[in-house]
Amino acid sequence: MDNARFVDRLTAGCQSLGVTVAEDVGPRLQRLMAELLKWNAKVNLTAITAPEEVLEKHFLDSLAVLPEVTGAATLLDLGAGAGFPGLPLKLALPSMGVTLVDTVGKKVAFIKAAAASLGLQGVRGLHARAEGQPETEGIPRAEVLIARAFMDLPDWLALAPAYVEPGGRVVAMLGKQQTDAELAARAAERQLRVVSSRSYRLPFSGAERQVAVFAKE
């Protein structure tokens, strides 16, 4: 994919999703893609390797939740994998401090290398396992906690509150659609409340997505 096509597809995708990013985000995402594909040729970071799919299913899928995280001072991405959604969100919101946590060392190594290559400040990659004890795990709490297909929603809502600052919120990026009643029931089980829920489709494949935001009662 040449530079012009990448920018055109990114622009079209963002318009379809109703989000906007600064002009410098496109070239930086291209550099992130090049780094990802270079690393992936040697170590298995992602099963998605076609540039068009990386753009849609990693980058645009991450940027789709900009409305839910904009304004946060700190973001914690648990089960970040190769850095999604945390790295694209950081590129779009450069003043936000972002910590990305994964249990796979090579993925954390990639996150650190990519952040250094892009000259990103305020990005931290952590090799750790989140089991609900942030102090002993060395994982900082954040204003917004996010995960993308990290675990089933009931398990996520059981784990998540321990990692959120007072007054903060938990963002769940879901593939499987949940009704408002289902979301409310899952939240009530953990003394949480649903702040918002939004369904959308990825712009090129039409894949269904949902993002739900929760807060402590």
Q: How many angstroms separate the CA atoms of 198 and 200, rounded?
A: 7
Task: Tell me if 62 sits within 8 A of 209, measured CB to CB.
Answer: no
Annotated binding residue 79: yes
Annotated binding residue 64: no
Annotated binding residue 143: no
Half-sphere exposure for 31 (CA within 13 Å, toward CB): 15
Annotated binding residue 214: no
Helix (H) or strand (E) holding 166: strand 164-174
Q: In terms of DSSP H, where are the helices of the chain? A: 3-17, 25-40, 51-53, 61-63, 66-69, 86-92, 105-117, 134-137, 153-159, 180-189
Q: How many angstroms separate the CA atoms of 23 and 101, rounded?
A: 28
Classify the C-alpha dihedral 128-54-142-24 as positive or negative: positive
Annotated binding residue 130: yes
Q: DSSP characters for 124-151?
A: EEEE---SS-HHHHTPPPEEEEEEES-S
Binding site: what residues are annotated?
A: 79, 84, 130-131, 148
Binding site for S-adenosyl-L-methionine: what residues are annotated?
A: 79, 84, 130-131, 148
